[in-house]
Amino acid sequence: MPKIYLAPLAGCSDLAFRLICREYGAKFAFFEMVDAHSLIYESRQTFDVLETCPEDKPIAAQLLGCDPDIMLKAAKRLLAIVKVSSIDVNAACPVTKVIKKKCGAYLMRDPSGLYKTIKKLVSSLDIPITVKLRSGFEMEDHKKLVSIAKNCEKHGAATIFIHGRTRSQLYSGDVDYEAIRLVKENVKVPVFGSGNVFNHELAKKMFDETGCDGILVARGAFGNPWIFKQIEDYLKDCKLPHKISMASRKKALKRHLYLVNKYRKGVESSKVGIMRKVGIWYSKSFKNAAKLRGLFGQARSYEEILALVEKFICGV
Ligand SMILES: Cc1cc2nc3c(=O)[nH]c(=O)nc-3n(C[C@H](O)[C@H](O)[C@H](O)COP(=O)(O)O)c2cc1C
């Protein structure tokens, strides 16, 4: 069966989001990315990111960093806090602040530190180490990408995840399926494709055009936890997804908000900020979307958000 994972999504794939995705069909998820330095210096936010519960399994962690010794220290710290099935090394984050520190997608530009990190983690830890790449840094360079992927494999990476966009593309523009296909052809370890997996058809396209072993669902799951089962059913026997009723959407939104309220740590304002974002994700599919978006954006408490859901969204 092809593997369909919930992608690492900084600022989004918190415990509530992972749980709602699992309840509707996701079989594997990632924690939000964790910065290696913050983990070592035990920042409170980092511990919040690693919040989990027994239903939140299986799960992988992802570390951001570029110094092999710090990455190992952080990985050991992480393993002392949570049980994960693998640790991923982020070589994909395009954010300028991260690139300036020579981390994230910068490792695609100068991968020597990436190989050292993978080697160090693989030789020191008893857990699979994976890597998340982009298709390139500034521009497409298939030869360099294949060489990076092969070297990651050589140094012990157990799986390669690739977002089929360069760092310069950030999150928009065409996905380079050919890049992912070339990596798949040139390594023996499993390869996962990422990019524009927004529905069952685009998921199939990713598998068909790249021959990948699995896919990451990212923005496609925002306000749409049904996507995992829809993709699975479509790949298994070409079953087309049913239209999701307004009542089902409302139920899922209420459940998601409940989970945020239950599990989100930190100050009330940040919790409400997450709830607003969640409300806005789901409101896309409601009739009065624009109005609802505005109202969710102004809400100041869980109760206010729930009242908006009851007042403006039809269904039980
Ligand atoms: C808000 C947001 C946060 C993300 N955070 C991470 C991250 O922490 N680590 C990572 O490897 N990729 C991260 N990504 C990239 C996604 O995992 C995925 O590769 C990318 O969005 C492409 O998939 P999509 O076009 O289907 O959304 C993030 C993407 C978004 C939109």
Q: What is the mean pLDDT of residues 249-260?
A: 97
Closest residue by Cα to atom 21, ligand 1, is 218
Q: What is the mean pLDDT of residues 55-68?
A: 98
- Give the Cα separation of 113 and 255 in Å (integer): 43
Q: Is 219 annotated as a binding residue?
A: yes
| Residues contacting residue 264 through CB under 8 Å, at least 6 positions apart | 14, 15, 16, 270, 271, 274
- In this structure, which amino acid lies at residue 292? L
pTM of the model: 0.97
Query: Which atom of ligand 1 has the smallest separation from the CA of 90?
Result: 11
Q: What is the Å distance from ligand 1's center to 185 Cα?
A: 24
Which residue in this structure is represented by tokens 């409300």? 279
**Quick one: pLDDT at residue 226?**
98
Q: How many helices (H) and strands (E) does the chain have?
A: 15, 9
- Exactly one of 12, 21, 66, 93 is catalytic; name it: 93
Average pLDDT of the chain is 95
Q: Which two tokens stand for residue 84?
A: 């994960």
Per-residue pLDDT of 27-44, as tens digits, reads: 999 999 999 999 999 888
Please confirm, yes or no, whether 12 is among the known catalytic residues. Answer: no
CATH number 3.20.20.70 is the correct assignment for the domain at 3-237: yes
> Residue 16: pLDDT above 90?
yes
**Quick one: pLDDT at residue 284?**
86
- Give the Cα separation of 242 and 195 in Å (integer): 24
Per-residue pLDDT of 285-315, as tens digits, reads: 888 889 989 999 899 999 999 999 998 887 6
> Residue 222: pLDDT above 60?
yes
